[in-house]
Amino acid sequence: MQKSVSGVVLAAGAALCAAPVVANSQDREFNIPEQPAGTAVSLLGRQAGIQIIAARSITHGKRTNAVIGGMPVDLAMERMLADTGLIARRSGPQTFVILETPPRTLGAVSHTIIKVQ
């Protein structure tokens, strides 16, 4: 009996963990005008029913794009942050972290030393 009860508990736990991921892939309705990044991030979190963590030090002075209409949360986040210098990374089923876009690298530069005699 103990074995079957623990199997049911494990199955129930797995179902609960998987449920938020499905919810985030569904379309949500967004009405977020262009505005300061700190305000927009908070508004998107409320409208999507998710938690978004963003340091004021990286959102200060930045403006986000408007996001209007029905779309998945990931797409709304991507559109809102496009060309702002910010990106969103998922840190949990219902949690995102806002980060600065990493600087672009042009690739490795090789230097050749030429000895002139």
- pLDDT, averaged per 10 consecutive residues of the chain (117 residues), comes to 42 37 71 97 97 96 97 96 96 95 69 63
Q: How many residues does the chain have?
A: 117
User: What pLDDT is recorded for position 102?
Assistant: 86
Q: Please answer whether residues 64 and 83 qualify as being in contact, where contact means their C-beta atoms are separated by less than 8 angstroms.
A: no
How does strand 28-32 pair with strand 67-71?
Answer: antiparallel
All structural domains of the chain: 27-100 (3.55.50.30)
Structure tokens at 113: 């030393």
Residue 94 backbone phi and psi in degrees, to 5: -130, 25
Report the chain's terminal Cα–Cα distance, integer Å. Answer: 88
Q: Which residues contact 43 (CB under 8 A, 6 or more apart)?
A: 32, 35
Query: pLDDT value at position 100?
Result: 96
H/E stretch holding 98: strand 95-100
